[in-house]
Structure 1
Amino acid sequence: MAATELGDYLRARRGQVTPAEAGLPTIGLRRVSGLRREEVAMLAGLSADYYTRLEQGRERTPSAQVVDALAAALRLSEDARAHLFRLAGLSPRSHAGTSARVDPALLELMSMWPHNPALVYNRAYDVLASNEIADAMFSQWQHSKNLLHVVFTEPGARSFYTDWAAVARDAVAGFRHGYGQAPDDPRIRAVLTDLLGASPEFAELWTRHDARRKSARSKGFRHPEVGTLELTMQTFDVRSSPGQELVVYHAEAGSVSAEALALLGSLAVTQTGR
């Protein structure tokens, strides 16, 4: 029987947990970098045979108790645990396609933030809307409306993001999380197929099976007109359109980055002629 997404995910995750992290001894030569199958089974209170069947796709219907035990054994975050439950068929997946319509009230709100770049994107990472200062911030990528394509296929992205490797990891993990919610969405599958063929770095990160939502964090940019920006990113679900997320950036008050954002806002007004 062919392997399943559930089996692939379990295999990838146990490869990223060391025996020391799991509280297991590391005596002797090990052929794997992470946990062995029998170690995961022991930690989860399962038989090694049953766990092996899960990884190999010969068992596809674990109970919620089994999945919960596996999530604990593999030290999964809340987002990763939710992803595991979805793969096991124990939480609903979205059957709605990616929506391209952005609530007009949200668009009006975004326009009222002259110093806060804001974007709305869907599970496929297609940018659906942006305010003026975001357009100025990402001006060199206006021809590309997909954030994953920008990160992995635009040559200038590696210098635009001060920590490209971290941005790339987070982008793939966020995309994997959205893919887990709507794996049959044709647009998500199209983006996945394109990037697996276009970017070896994306393909390698995809095999890690990291799945997590975006969260508040600092992000660095090198803008060609205003210099280096260190911004905090906040992400919000758009309740009026499930599957859409709003990202808003801001700088610490009185910082050099805040001054750079103010300059960027002035440039945005000049460029639009307002």
Structure 2
Amino acid sequence: MSRQELARFLRDRREKLRPADLGLPAGTRRRTPGLRREEVAGLAAVSVDYYVRLEQARGPHPSARVLDAVAGALRLSPAERAHVFRLAGTDPAPPIGPVRTVRPHVAGLLTRLPETGVVVTDATYTVLARNPLADALLGDFGPHPNLARRYFLQGQRAERPEGGPFGPIAVARLRAAADRYPRDEPLRRLLADLRERSEEFRELWRTHPVHAPGHRRKTLAHPDLGRVRVNCDVLAVPEDDQQIAFVTADPGTPSARALRHLVRSVRPHHGGDLR
């Protein structure tokens, strides 16, 4: 265990956090930037004395549970969390669940690309954020916005997808998520629902499909515009195990004109939780 390095890392990350990042009042008597040690201890459900000793490199060997709690309190990324476990000389437990908030620089893409449909999903294909054009193009996502649920249970599918249907892609990602987050209850409920209600999902699950994010072309059936031929390019956000899908049309085509028409018809809104 590298106590000095662990202490320095924890102090550095604590001092970079703002109270507002965690919904805490800023107060008027903060002499130094960042959170107070007692605030981190409270968020991690450990004693203030215990956390202070960790930051002063004189604490005991922290357990995996304590490290998980401190990592959560400090809003560490998966890579930072793994680094903390390495410094403590402890085997990391699998994360409880996928990250379900969106970083500000990712959220900014939604507003900076008005003529591109943008959808951000977590490791379970739950839609975390989308821009107005994506809403207008893809339709209502419902109270539980999840692309796999939408595909397998609601029958909303692209016509003539090039590169194969979405089903194997969704199952490959959900299988990977189930391996990484075996303790995530929302994912367990989603998989149970899909297994119970979709024969196609059950058959695909048995085939163990493998897929990497990339480029696909598909034709969407829009209720007002008719068939719209679009490109779907996926960018991975590895630090949060998320994906950003960019939906565009080839310049100069009727589909591009259709997207511009939609852009003029939509009004901006907030599409997800941001951090």
Residue equivalent to 1:78? none
CA offsets 1:132-162 (integer angstroms, 9 cap, x no match): 101111223344411111001114x14xx10
Does the Cα contact within 8 Å between 1:230 and 1:251 map onto a contact in 2? yes
Q: Secondary structure at the match of 2:124?
A: coil
What whole-Å deviation, never above 9, does each CA across 1:167-223 have from its counterpart, x for those lacking one? 222222232233333344333222111110111111111111112222111122111
SS at match of 1:213: coil
Alignment of 1:162 with 2:159, yes or no, is yes
Looking at structure 2, the residues matched to 93 and 256 of structure 1 have their Cα atoms a distance apart, in angstroms, of 51
Question: Offset of 1:93 from its aligned partner?
Answer: 8.8
Q: CA deviation at 1:230?
A: 1.5
Aligned residue number for residue 208 of structure 1? 207
- Measured in 1, the distance between the counterparts of 2:143 and 2:94 equals 30
How far did residue 96 of structure 1 move? Answer: 4.7
Confirm whether residue 107 of structure 1 aligns to residue 107 of structure 2.
yes
- Alpha-carbon separation, structure 2, partners of 1:200 and 1:261: 34
C-alpha contact 2:214 2:233 (8 A) present in aligned 1: yes
Equivalence for 2:232: 233
Corresponding residue for residue 9 of structure 2: none
2:249 equivalent in structure 1: 251
CA RMSD of aligned residues (A): 2.3
CA contact under 8 A between 1:152 and 1:201: conserved in structure 2?
yes
SS of residue in 2 equivalent to 1:254: coil
In 1, the alpha carbon distance for the partners of 2:191 and 2:95 equals 18
2:200 pairs with 1:189: no
Q: SS at the partner of 1:228? A: strand
- Is 1:137 the counterpart of 2:134 in the alignment? no
Matching residue of 2:53: none
TM-score using structure 2 length: 0.58
Q: Which amino acid aligns with 1:201?
A: E
1:169-180 to 2 correspondences below 5 Å: 169-180=168-179
Relative to structure 1, the CA distance from residue 181 to residue 211 in structure 2 (aligned partners, 3 Å threshold; closer, same or farther) is farther
Letter of the aligned partner of 2:254 in structure 1?
A: V
Q: Is the 8 A contact 2:96 2:183 kept in 1?
A: no
What secondary structure is seen at the aligned counterpart in 2 of 1:115? coil
Q: Judging changes above 3 Å, is the alpha-carbon distance between structure 1 residues 183 and 215 closer, same or farther for their aligned structure 2 residues? A: farther
- Structure 1 stretches of 4+ moved >6 Å: none
Gaps of 5+ in 2: 1-91, 270-275
How far, CA to CA, are the matches of 1:108 and 1:101 in structure 2?
A: 13
- Aligned-partner residue type, residue 194 of structure 1: D
Aligned to 1:95: 95
Q: Give unmatched runs, 5+ long, in structure 1.
A: 1-91
Contact 2:136–2:262 (Cα < 8 Å) also in 1: yes
Report if the CA contact (8 A) 2:231-2:248 is conserved: yes
2:259 maps to which of 249, 258, 261: 261
Aligned-partner SS, 1:118: strand
The CA deviation string for residues 218-266 of structure 1, in whole angstroms up to 9 with x for no partner, is 1221111112122111111224x42111111111111111111111212
Q: 2:240 aligns with which of 227, 239, 242?
A: 242
The DSSP-based 3-state class of the residue aligned with 1:141 is coil
Which residue identity lines up with residue 180 of structure 1 in the other structure?
A: D
The TM-score with structure 1 as length reference comes to 0.58
Using the aligned pairs only, state the percent identity: 28
Which residues in structure 2 correspond to 1:27-106 (within 5 Å)?
Answer: 94-106=94-106
